[in-house]
Amino acid sequence: MSIPRRLGRMARGFVSNLQEDERVRESLRETIRTGRERGETLKEAFGAAWKGASEEWRTAEERRRAEEASGDSTEERPSSGSSGRRFTPGSFMPRAYPLNVLSAYNRLGLEPGASLEEANRKRRELIKKYHPDRFTDSDKRRRAERLSADINAAHDTIERHLNKS
C-alpha cells in the first residue's frame, strides 16, 4: 500500500475518532481543505514556471539553429591554452581557472581574474572582520579562527596562481 494511501487512512481514522467534538472536526476539515487548495495553487504555479522556461529553451534552440543554418555561428574565440580553435555557440569552452582558484576567488568574494592588489585588500578587510581576537565567546572565537584560516588559504591559492602565470 502506498504512503499517501496509508496517510489518508490514518487521517480518516483520526477524524472518525473526533466524532464527539463537531467543532474540532470542522476545524480539521477546513485545515485539510485549505492545505489541498494551497497544494493545487503551488502545482499550478510550478506548471506555469515550467511552461515559461520550456518556451524560453525552445526559442533559444530555434535561434541557435537559425544561426547555424546561416553560417554565422563559427567564429574564432580566444581561449586559454589553445588559440585558433573554432567554437560554436553552446560548445564546450575550456575553463580559464582551476576549480580551487575559482573557489578561492568565491571565498574572498572576488570575481575571477581580480588582481593581487584586490585580493590583498579583500583579505585584509575580511581578516579585520573575522579576527579571533575580536571575540570573547569561545565558540565564536573558534569559528573566527576557522574563517581566518579559510581566508588566508584562499588568498594563498590566488597568490600562487597569479605568481605562476
- β-sheet bridge partners, residue 86: 76
- Grade residue 133 by pLDDT with cuts at 50, 70 and 90: very high
Residues 43-47 have a mean pLDDT of: 80
pLDDT digit string, tens, across residues 140-164: 999 999 999 999 999 999 999 989 8
Give phi and psi for 87, each to the nearest 5.
-125, 145
The size of the chain, in residues, is 165
- pLDDT band per the 50, 70, 90 thresholds, residue 85: very low
pLDDT at 82: 44
Asked if residue 108 has pLDDT above 90, the reply is: yes
Specify the range with the lowest mean pLDDT, choosing from 86-90, 114-118, 122-126: 86-90
pTM score of the predicted model: 0.44
CA distance 31 to 25: 10
The owner of cell 497544494 is: 39
Cα 31 to Cα 64: distance, rounded to the nearest angstrom = 49
Question: Which set of grid coordinates corresponds to residue 161?
Answer: 596562481
HSE of 146 in the Cβ direction (CA atoms, 13 Å)?
6
Reported confidence tier of residue 46, pLDDT bands at 50, 70, 90: confident
Whole-angstrom Cα distance, residue 113 to residue 104?
Answer: 11
